[in-house]
Structure 1
Amino acid sequence: MKNKTFLKIAVLSVFFVQMGIGTITPALASIAAAFPTISFTTLLLVSTGAVLISVPATLISGRLAGNVIKYKTLLIIGMLLFIFGGIAPYFMTDFFAILAVRAIFGIGLGIVTPLGAALIIAFFDGEVRAQMMGFGNVAANVGGILFQLLGGIAASAFWGYSFLVHGLGIVTFILILFLPEPAKAPCTSAGEIKPKMPASVYGFAFAIFAIMILLYPLLVNMSTLIAVGSMGGPADAALVLTMFTVGGMIAGFIFAKVFRIFQKNTFALGLGLLAIAMASIGFGNTILFMYIGATAAGFGFSFIVPTIFMDLGAAVHPSQIPTASGIVLASMNIGGFTSAYFFALMAYVLGQTGILKFPFYFSLAAFTIGAIAYVLIKLKKADVLLPE
């Protein structure tokens, strides 16, 4: 029992560091003040550059894990890069040197990111797997809150201190040193042809890519919405966004029970909650509606992600799990990065340029159509399978 409990804690610690990318977000203004000659667009590369670098690292890590390199070895390499690349800027005064080590941090983060879900699928089955997927979201959200909160507190004293917060990754590093290696999944059985990656994996990847595009305006535009609508200031925006995380944490705790009831329709439930979130923010004009929208979005997103990984575990050969996880998670990061460009294009095409709430109206329509279409397709498939 003790070994099983430690295994769960060690695996969940991998999720804990996945939100470490947000550590320095509260410090960006302080970093900008420290480097006044650097344009703000270039300055943002301290955060966005690491995200971009993490994408190919995630894909490569997923392909190597468990097949070419052991999970544990990859985790150790990834966490060493995460810790070194995260902390090193504290000791630097040259902005471009900071960018270079942030790239190292991004590689480390990218290596680690697909391994949490892959380890859950490798170590656990059935309802325990569903519980761990939910708890993984909880651990990621707790990590996100802690990294960002401590990063903000540290930056209030000195911008460089925010980078030291990445040292929390040492806890994960110590835990994974004692993590057992999952049994290597055979690529083929006797007489079995080497499996190809199922097309459904790319369907899951596209789904999370599209969802991130549609969801991201909530995460990046909230402070502007609140300020323009005279609903509050930066502190209010921070509290609203915290409710996204809180909603995600609660959803993580109850995911296994919800999934037991709704099964794959949990995906449609998540889309429905995201539609409610966009309606609340799009049509609401008080801070209360912003809180409702952010909380509903946290629930919806944290129902969707583990559902995708549950389906992923059932769809692919065990030897393909790390690669499939890497493809899906890389698509999620690309979706977040692409969101602003997508909505700028849509606003131009639809004549909505300058309409601050346009992304929320668009996302409301897309999530509503997606939820209804998913349910109708499932019902149609069920009718086809019924015997005459």
Structure 2
Amino acid sequence: MGVGTITPAIANIAAAFPDVPFTTLLLVSTLAVLVSVPATLISGRLAGTVVKYKTLLIIGMVLFIAGGIAPYFMVTSSFAAILAVRAVFGIGLGIVTPLGAALIIAFFDGEARAKMMGLSGVVANIGGILFQLLGGVAAASSWELAFLVHGLGIITFILILFLPEPAKVPAQAAGETKPKLPGSVFGFAFAIFFMLILVYPMLVNMSTIIAVTGLGGAPEAALVLTMFTVGGMVSGLIFAKVFGIFKKNTLAVGLGLLAVAMASIGLGNTIIFMYIGTTVAGIGFSFILPTVFMDLGAAVHPSQMATASGIIMASMNVGGFCSAYFFAFLAGIMGMTEVIKFPFYVSMTAFAVAAVAYLFIKPKQAEVPQAL
């Protein structure tokens, strides 16, 4: 969740670097996301087989903390130098990203797995609240102070030292065909990629929208974005019950909520609509991601879970990176470059269509052998 730390400070960073084009400026957030992609894929392939989970987590958190706080000491440095250390942060982020869901799949089954998926969302969103809220408050004083908030990763680093290592998944028996990743993994990856393209404008443009429309400054943007994580926390508390009722249709519920959220932000003209939009978006988003991992846990061989998780999380990060360029291109060809809320009009329409479509089109999952 540390990737959202500096999103409330985007407008302040833009003021500090007035000669940097806004699309390039967004790299301070999106570059870390892009760089994390290969690290996520590699981490997913190595975890639990070549390298222990704990070893990877320790390496990832060291890079996360060091790369995260480094810009605080680089006030007089060039923007390119700041981007370089953000890349280091992104590598650490990418190493850690796929391992949480993979560990839950390794340790838990059935209803306990659903509950832990929900609780992991609660804990992650508590972290997100701290990162975003403190990032916004710090940015109100000085943009570089927002980067020091990444030091909260030290808490995670300490907790990792006490983390048990899951039992190694047994290799297939002699002569047994190595299981292939089912097509649903890549179907979900594409869907998550597109979902992040549609959601990311809310995360990176909110501070600009609030400033341009006269609704407030960095502290207000931090509070609005914090409601996204509050919504995610609420979703985590009720996820197991919701999933028990709707099963696979939980994805359609999440998509419908995201459509409502984008409509609230896109069509609303007061700060209250921003709060409602981000809260509902947090609930919807946090219904979708655990549902995807629950489906993956049932569809892939246990030895493939870390790899599948890595593919899903990598697709999220690529979608986040591509979002600004996608909407810049779309706004250009549609003559909407001056309409600051244009991405939200597109997103609310796409999510509404996707919610209805998913009720009729669901990816089929192949039965695969599970570890005893």
Q: State the Cα deviation string for residues 164-210 of structure 1 (Å, max 9, x = none).
A: 33222122112111211111112313542001111111011001111
Aligned residue number for residue 55 of structure 1? 37
Matches within 5 A, 1:123-202: 123-157=107-141, 159-202=143-186
Change (3 A) 1:87 1:285: closer
CA separation in 2, counterparts of 1:79 and 1:65? 15
CA separation in 2, counterparts of 1:353 and 1:29? 18
Letter in 2 for 1:278: M
Aligned residue number for residue 56 of structure 2? 74
- Per the alignment, in what secondary structure is the counterpart of residue 259 of structure 1? helix
The structure that has the greater radius of gyration is: 1
Pairing 1:94–2:77 present: yes
The answer to whether the 8 Å contact 1:45/1:99 transfers is: yes
Letter in 2 for 1:112: V
Matches within 5 A, 1:1-388: 19-27=1-9, 44-92=26-74, 93-95=76-78, 96-157=80-141, 159-227=143-211, 229=213, 231-377=215-361
Letter in 2 for 1:309: F
Letter in 1 for 2:192: I
The answer to whether the 8 Å contact 2:11/2:207 transfers is: no
Letter in 1 for 2:77: D
Change (3 A) 1:235 1:78: closer
Cα deviation, residue 272, structure 1: 0.9
CA separation in 2, counterparts of 1:29 and 1:232? 12
Segment of structure 1 superposing worse, 290-299 or 312-321: 290-299
Change (3 A) 1:90 1:230: closer
The answer to whether the 8 Å contact 1:24/1:148 transfers is: yes
Cα deviation, residue 371, structure 1: 1.2
Letter in 2 for 1:80: V
Q: State the Cα deviation string for residues 336-357 of structure 1 (Å, max 9, x = none).
A: 1111222233334445443333
The answer to whether the 8 Å contact 1:187/1:195 transfers is: no
CA separation in 2, counterparts of 1:91 and 1:367? 41
Change (3 A) 1:220 1:154: closer
Letter in 2 for 1:165: V
Cα deviation, residue 157, structure 1: 5.0
Q: TM-score normalised to the size of structure 1?
A: 0.84
Letter in 1 for 2:46: L
Letter in 2 for 1:277: A
The answer to whether the 8 Å contact 2:36/2:93 transfers is: yes
Aligned residue number for residue 368 of structure 2? none
Identical positions, percent? 75
Q: TM-score normalised to the size of structure 2?
A: 0.87
Letter in 1 for 2:251: F
Letter in 1 for 2:64: F
Letter in 2 for 1:64: L
Segment of structure 1 superposing worse, 204-213 or 364-373: 364-373
Letter in 2 for 1:268: A
Letter in 1 for 2:62: L
Change (3 A) 1:35 1:273: closer
Change (3 A) 1:358 1:47: closer
CA separation in 2, counterparts of 1:44 and 1:270? 27
Change (3 A) 1:357 1:168: closer
- Per the alignment, in what secondary structure is the counterpart of residue 146 of structure 1? helix
Aligned residue number for residue 370 of structure 2? none
- Per the alignment, in what secondary structure is the counterpart of residue 167 of structure 2? coil
CA separation in 2, counterparts of 1:326 and 1:63? 8
- Per the alignment, in what secondary structure is the counterpart of residue 184 of structure 1? coil
Segment of structure 1 superposing worse, 241-250 or 151-160: 151-160
Letter in 2 for 1:208: I
Segment of structure 1 superposing worse, 338-347 or 32-41: 32-41
Aligned pair count? 362
Q: State the Cα deviation string for residues 361-382 of structure 1 (Å, max 9, x = none).
A: 222221122111111235x99x
Structure 1 unpaired stretches of 5+? 1-18, 382-388
The answer to whether the 8 Å contact 2:258/2:285 transfers is: yes
Q: State the Cα deviation string for residues 218-276 of structure 1 (Å, max 9, x = none).
A: 22333444455555555444333222221111011110111111111100100111111
CA RMSD after TM alignment? 2.7
The answer to whether the 8 Å contact 1:240/1:294 transfers is: yes
Segment of structure 1 superposing worse, 258-267 or 181-190: 181-190
Structure 2 unpaired stretches of 5+? 365-372
CA separation in 2, counterparts of 1:36 and 1:275? 34
CA separation in 2, counterparts of 1:113 and 1:251? 20
CA separation in 2, counterparts of 1:199 and 1:123? 25
The answer to whether the 8 Å contact 2:197/2:319 transfers is: yes
CA separation in 2, counterparts of 1:309 and 1:99? 32
Change (3 A) 1:377 1:89: closer
